[in-house]
Chain A
Amino acid sequence: MRLWLAVRCFFKALFHADFANQCLLLLNGTPATPDPVAVAPASAPTLLKSPRNDAITLLAALQREARFVDIVNESLDGYSDAQIGAAARDVLRDCGKVLARVFALRPVLEHAEGATVQVPAGYESECYRLTGDVSREPPFAGKLMHAGWQATKCDLPTWTGSGKGALVVAPAEVQLG
Chain B
Amino acid sequence: MIEKERSMTAKYVVGIDLGTTNCVLAYVAIETKSPQVELLEIPQLVATSTIESRPSLPSFLYIAPEHEATSGALGLPWQREMPLAVGEYARRRGAEMPDRTVAAAKSWLCHSGVDRRQPLLPEHAPPEVAKISPVAASRRYLEHLVAAWNAKFPEAPLAQQQLVLTVPASFDAAARELTREAAIAAGLPESLVFLEEPQAAVYSWLVARGDAWRRDLSEGDRLLVCDVGGGTTDLTLIDVAEADGELELRRLAVGDHLLVGGDNMDLTLAHRVAELFAEQGVKLDAWQSVSLWHSCRDAKETLLAADAPESHRVSVLGRGSKLIGGTVTVDVPRQLAVDLLVGGFFPQCAIIDRPQRRRASGFQEIGLPYQADVAITRHLAAFLTAHAGQNDRSAAPTHVLFNGGVFKADAFRSLVLDRLGEWSPADRPVRELPGPRDLDFAVARGAAFYGWTKQQGGMRIRSGAARSYYVGIETAGLAIPGAPRPLRALCVVPFGMEEGTAVDVPSNEFGLVLGEPAHFRFFSSAVRQQDKPGALLPTIDEEQLAETDSLETMLEAGSDDAETYVPVKFQSRITELGVFELWCVSTTSDRRWKLAFSIRDDAPEAAS
Contacts and interface: CB of A to CB of B under 8 A. Distances in A.
A70 B151 contact: no
Given A70-B321, A79-B325, A157-B51, A46 B73 contact: no
B315 A160 contact: no
B140 to A, nearest CB: 18
A144 B340 CA distance: 47
Contacts of B151: 45-46
B52 A157 contact: yes
A60 B49 CA distance: 12
Given A45-B151, A46-B151, A87-B317, A160 B51 contact: yes
Contact of B50 (A83, A90, A155, A158): A158
A108 interface: no
A76 to B, nearest CB: 7
A160 B75 contact: yes
A56 to B, nearest CB: 11
A90 B315 contact: yes
B278 interface: no
A66 B566 CA distance: 69
A155 B315 contact: no
A14 B47 CA distance: 53
A67 B317 contact: yes
B324 A158 contact: no
Interface string B276-306: 0000000000000000000100100000000
Contacts of B321: 70, 73-74
Q: What bracket does the count of chain A residues touching chain B fall in? A: 20 to 34
A47 B43 contact: yes
Contacts of B73: 161
Contacts of B298: 93
Contacts of A24: none
A87 B327 contact: yes
Interface in A58-106: 60-61, 64, 67, 70-71, 73-74, 76, 79, 83-84, 86-91, 93
Contacts of B43: 47
Contact of B325 (A47, A74, A89, A93): A74
B156 to A, nearest CB: 14
Given A45-B151, A74-B324, A84-B324, A160 B49 contact: yes
Given A46-B77, A79-B325, A83-B324, A57 B50 contact: yes
Contacts of B318: 87
B39 to A, nearest CB: 14
Contacts of A79: 324-325
A91 B574 CA distance: 54
Contacts of B53: 155
Contact of A45 (B49, B150, B295, B322): B150
Given A47-B43, A89-B315, A71 B49 contact: no
A48 interface: yes
B324 A45 contact: no
B47 A64 contact: yes
Nearest to A46: B77
Given A45-B78, A71-B323, A76-B324, A161 B49 contact: yes
Contacts of B147: 45
B324 A71 contact: yes
A73 B322 CA distance: 9
Contacts of A86: 313, 315, 327, 329
A158 B151 CA distance: 16
Contacts of A34: none
A121 B572 CA distance: 76
A48 B51 CA distance: 10
B490 interface: no
Interface in B134-175: 147, 150-151, 154
A90 B317 contact: yes
A29 to B, nearest CB: 31
A114 interface: no
B335 interface: no
Contacts of A83: 324, 327
A86 B323 CA distance: 11
Given A86-B329, A157-B52, A60 B323 contact: no
B548 to A, nearest CB: 40
Interface string A105-135: 0000000000000000000000000000000
Given A45-B77, A45-B150, A45-B154, A161 B48 contact: yes
A83 B329 CA distance: 9
Contacts of A48: 77
B46 interface: yes
Contacts of B46: 61, 64, 157
A11 to B, nearest CB: 44
A84 B315 CA distance: 11
A171 B324 contact: no
A74 B323 contact: yes
Contacts of B324: 71, 74, 76, 79, 83-84, 87-88
Contacts of A87: 315, 317-318, 323-324, 327
Interface string A153-177: 0011111110001000001000000
A93 B297 CA distance: 14
Nearest to B295: A90
A65 B570 CA distance: 58
Nearest to B74: A160
A45 B149 CA distance: 11
A171 B317 contact: no
Interface string B317-343: 110011111010100000000000000
A158 B52 CA distance: 6
Interface string B544-580: 0000000000000000000000000000000000000
A157 B50 contact: yes
Interface string B41-62: 0010011111111000000000
Contacts of A158: 50-52
A160 B82 CA distance: 13
Nearest to B44: A157
Contacts of B48: 161, 171
B431 to A, nearest CB: 31
A45 to B, nearest CB: 4
11 contacts: A45-B150, A45-B154, A46-B151, A74-B323, A86-B313, A90-B317, A91-B317, A91-B323, A157-B47, A157-B51, A157-B52
Given A47-B51, A155-B52, 17 more contacts: A45-B78, A46-B151, A47-B43, A67-B317, A70-B323, A74-B322, A74-B324, A74-B325, A79-B324, A84-B324, A89-B313, A157-B47, A158-B50, A158-B51, A160-B49, A160-B72, A171-B48
Interface of B: 43, 46-53, 72-73, 75, 77-78, 147, 150-151, 154, 295, 298, 313, 315, 317-318, 321-325, 327, 329
Q: Ordered nearest first, which 10 A-B pairs have the shortest CB separation?
A: A161-B49, A157-B52, A45-B151, A45-B78, A70-B323, A87-B327, A87-B324, A86-B329, A86-B315, A158-B51
Interface of A: 45-48, 57, 60-61, 64, 67, 70-71, 73-74, 76, 79, 83-84, 86-91, 93, 155-161, 165, 171
